[in-house]
Amino acid sequence: MGLDIRIPLGVMFTLLGLLLTGFGFFSDPAIYQRSLGIDINLWWGLALLLFGAVMLGVGWRAAGGRTH
Amino acid sequence: MAVYFVFVLGVGYALRRHVKTSTDYFLSGRSIPAWVAGLAFLSANLGAQEVIGMAASGAKYGMATSHFYWVGAVPAMVFLGVFMMPFYYGSQARSVPEYLKLRFDEKTRGLNAISFATMTVFSSGISMYAMGLLLNLLLGWDFDTSVWLSAAVVLIYILLGGLTSAIYNEVLQFFLIVFGFAPLVFLGLKDLGGWQGLSARLAHVATAQGFAPQAWSSTWSQMGDPTSNPMGVEWFGVAMGLGFVLSFGYWCTDFLVVQRAMAAHSMSAARRTPLIAAVPKMLFPFLVIVPGMIAIASTQHTGASGFVLPQKADGTLNYDLSIPMMLSHYFPHGMLGLGLTALLASFMSGMAGNVTAFNTVWTYDIYQAYINRGASDHHYLNMGRVATVFGIGLSVAAAYVANHFNNIMDMLQLLFAFVNAPLFATFLLGMFWKRATGHGAFAGLLSGTAAAALHHGLSLPRGSVPGIKGGWLALLHAYPSEMAQNFWTAIWAFTVCFLVTLAVSLITRPRAENDLAGLVYSLTPRLRETDRAWYARPAVLGAGVLAATLLLNLIFW
């Protein structure tokens, strides 16, 4: 099949996660009034990061298993 | 958003070198793993109409909208996986119309192929039109810019990688949609004080309109009588019209979704595709219907942060804006980008699904069947690419037509509804009754469509003017709502198609039994799936999915 979809999935969500988490860290807390005082960028960014990392991990393991 | 666009195009580019034959292009070389095909199966249907429309229905009708999932889609998907997939995949048909040709005859296929091809082009055009309006409203983008931009992106990735590229992108889109909307539900519910707070507010919405307090937060308890629920339907119309006829008709015969399962790498993967898809599908009401319920609850009985639905020019609430407006109400910068990207992704996945189904049906069932038989595979591959460009071009044209003449689109959609309503009867008889003949199927489809049109022409939802809403022949019956009228139109079309197919088949000559091996249930050897653990077998998976759905129905009764 050539391309394991988990790799692009993992890369995309890791990048999106990094962007959101970074933004969540440095943004003005005042903008979180609309999200009920929760820094949703930071927390959801971390969730995306985790998902991306899991996808990458699984994808790489599968790729490693095939070459051995 | 830029990250997403780069990935969408990157996947298309990376897959380009894998496309060598027309099968690679149209059926992904039948090489897709079941879970990937399953998510694509869902995502192809998760277009704009789904996301925007389901949230709007959630606001209008409340929790009962989940019937579309828990009575309609999920059981239909289980039926497709367990009973129908063996014939689609096993017959080596490359499309749904081609199965009709193998099972019945050329004219049945032609009818289905032409109506399907036209329909996909128009629905992708309508999707583009809706997106153009929405982006204009939310981001201030120009209508032309958004139509051409989205058309170009979809064109490039399908042109490069064919169905594989569309499927891979649909998987990306699936996760993006889930991750983009999940926090919205979380924030909305938190704002209203959880499920308890939401139901309490919905009770006010219901009693204000003269319904029982639980009318918006329950699925079945108000379905005894059409006047006691906002949908205006009763349990029989829901179970038969929506569940059996409309949903089975859509999920089991629409090539747009079936194509994803046909691309799976083996029979057992093809059968597991809709079953795997059914698991997230079961949970989608929480993602797409609950936001609509939050929107209406918050509007009518102000929530903590005061979200209010905007009004249309005539003063009624604009339910279609539930999700877009909630995104901009609850999400700060950052998350808002992700949410809008998810919305954009849903438009594009719907469009791409239509385009890939169109190019396959056009190339295999119209071009190869009627225009140029017996050309080289390379020729058909190129034709597929041309059809992709052509199909997207037509969709863009349809989007502009929709922009200028809204009524034409309404009429076309109505016409397609008539054509589609009887389809499931034809497949059911074709797959499970070896005596059904081609003449029978053809006559059944035509008369079913006629019955749908006739029923629509003779009935009207209460409070509407005769015309596009029905009653254009005479007014014999008034339904409490448009929803009820649709369900009953479908029931009539199905019944007439079923009976006519039966009758005509009995007086025409049947095909020899050995021609039908692998196409009809009683003439196909039972599949023994011994290569998998018992819990991964389709029947077991299917039963598990159904049990879970039943449980959901009971919890939200």
Residue A30 lies in a domain: yes
User: Could you tell me which chain A residue has the CA closest to the CA of B11?
Assistant: A8
| CATH architecture assigned to B2-404+534-555 | Up-down Bundle (1.20)
Query: What is the arithmetic mean of pLDDT over B520-541?
Result: 68
Closest CB to A5: pick one of B171, B304, B335: B171
The residues spanned by each domain of chain B are 2-404+534-555, 407-525
Q: Look at residue A51 and tell me if it is in a domain.
A: yes
Q: Does A2 fall in a domain?
A: no
Whether the pLDDT of residue B17 is over 60: the answer is no
Over residues B331-354, the mean pLDDT reads 80
B189, B182 contact by CB (below 8 A):
no
What distance in Å separates residue B452's CA from the closest CA in chain A?
Answer: 43
> Residue B19 above 60 pLDDT?
no
**Residue A55 is assigned to a structural domain of this protein:** yes
Q: Which residue out of B335, B340, B344 would a mutagenesis test of the A interface target, given it has the greatest number of A Cβ atoms within 10 Å?
A: B335
Number of domains in chain A: 1
CB-based contact B171:B42 (threshold 8 Å): no
In the numeric block, which tokens belong to residue B312? 């249309």
Query: Are A23 and B11 inside 8 Å of each other by CB?
Result: no
Q: Is the pLDDT of residue B200 over 80?
A: no
| Among B residues 474-493, those touching chain A with beta carbons less than 8 Å apart | none
CB contact under 8 A, B3 and A8: no
Contacts B5 to A, Cβ<8 Å: none
Q: How far is CA B553 from the centre of its chain?
A: 21
The b-or-e profile of B250-281 (16+ CB within 10 A means b, else e) is bbbbbbbbbbbbbbbbeebbbbbbbbbbbbbb
In a domain, A1, yes or no: no
**In the A/B pair of chains, how many CB contacts fall below 8 A?**
88
pLDDT digits (tens, 9 = 90+) for B356-379: 888 888 787 787 777 777 777 777
Per-residue pLDDT, A1: 45
Are residues B491 and B240 in contact, defined by beta-carbon separation less than 8 angstroms? yes
Interface of B with A in 222-261 (CB under 8 A): none
Q: What is the mean pLDDT of residues B118-131?
A: 82
Lowest mean pLDDT among B69-73, B103-107, B511-515: B511-515
Domain that holds residue A60: 7-67
Instruction: Give contacts of B 15-54 with A, CB under 8 A.
Output: 15, 17-18, 29, 31-33, 36
Residue B318 confidence (pLDDT) above 70: yes
The tens digit of pLDDT for each residue in B461-498 reads 776 777 667 767 767 677 777 777 778 888 888 888 88
For residue B305, the chain A residues in CB contact (below 8 A) are: 34, 36
- Alpha-carbon gap: B331 to the closest alpha carbon of chain A (Å): 6
Instruction: Say what the pLDDT of residue B289 is.
Output: 81
Give the mean pLDDT of B538-547: 75
Q: Is B306 on the interface with A (CB under 8 A)?
A: no
* Dist. CA A13–CA A47, nearest whole Å: 9
Q: Does position B35 have pLDDT exceeding 70, yes or no?
A: yes
Cα dihedral B342, B347, B352, B358, rounded to 10, equals: 160
With bands split at pLDDT 50, 70 and 90, how would you rate the model's confidence at B386?
Answer: confident
Taking only the tens place, the pLDDT of each residue in B218-230 is 767 666 676 667 7
Which ipTM did the prediction report?
Answer: 0.85
